[in-house]
A = this chain, B = another copy of it.
């Protein structure tokens, strides 16, 4: 984590000030990465909260006002608002301004933003792989990004100086920056994040349709593995709705593979095929080992949880 001598940007506009936007505001302030932080959000309540938290230097309900004269406009709204935001800020953008975002689906981000932006705008889409199950400006914190990846997905012709500036912003906030194509990002995230979330939402929904007595016991004995699913399934509903609508093809593709694999497991159980089950359960250990090897795994201070094997309470 570096603290540059002079700020990277004169004026940064943050459009949307939820968990990610407000964490970014705090990190930018903490590391002196901008002379001026302009904040815009469409809800007056949220804007008041941001002001009360002293997250920025100016506040506006009009994204164009925040974007005016900004070197960097960072869009931190749910993806469903991207078109409206891009349309609104376009006339206000100064020549050569950088527009970036933090959305979870990069092909759709580019497809939605680009048509509205002036030719001379540098679009540098990004996605910090960081978050919690909490939302809103009060949920953010400056230390959200260290130890996490931020993936930038420039296009072939993206201005390298603009790309470099956005990469330096994220590095200064503590993130590890990785660059890949938007399409590849969307494929990788479909399996590492979107499918796990869809499955978690689904299994918790399945539990919610059980008769009330059983449902109470499911909650009581959730440490057997279910509890971890509920944590994922408490994430922001609007954000996740937009993820599945915008990464539809990659999600449906990996979902199709998963459903085939689940059919195979179901058949193995139906047919009492213990060998097939044991083979699969053994094979999956290798992936776990690779994750530990890559130091992606942060060890538990105390193992606990599942029925002879499941995860349980997180520390």
Contact = CB atoms under 8 A, between A and B. Distances in A.
B196 A224 contact: yes
A204 B237 CA distance: 25
B310 A197 contact: yes
Given A202-B280, A241-B281, 4 more contacts: A127-B307, A201-B281, A239-B309, A242-B274
B269 A251 contact: yes
13 contacts: A102-B308, A127-B307, A147-B313, A148-B223, A189-B221, A198-B265, A201-B281, A202-B262, A231-B311, A234-B288, A235-B281, A238-B278, A244-B277
Q: In the complex, which of the residues A204, A224, A228 has the most CB atoms of chain B within 10 Å of its own CB atom?
A: A224
B284 A234 contact: yes
Contacts of A281: 201, 233, 235, 237, 240-241
The 8 closest A-B pairs by CB, nearest first: A235-B309, A193-B224, A132-B303, A298-B313, A196-B225, A237-B281, A131-B308, A234-B288
Given A193-B307, A236-B309, A285-B234, A129 B224 contact: yes
A108 interface: no
A289 to B, nearest CB: 8
Contact of A288 (B231, B300, B315): B231
Interface stretch (A37-45, A90-98, A164-172, A206-214): A206-214
Interface string A248-269: 1001101101110110011011
Interface residues of A, number: 124
Contacts of A6: none
B259 A308 contact: no
Given A272-B248, A313-B297, A205 B304 contact: no
A245 interface: yes
Contacts of A236: 308-309
Given A205-B284, A219-B287, A308 B235 contact: yes
A2 interface: no
Q: In the complex, which of the residues A127, A203, A257 has the most CB atoms of chain B within 10 Å of its own CB atom?
A: A203
B304 A132 contact: yes
A286 interface: yes
A306 interface: yes
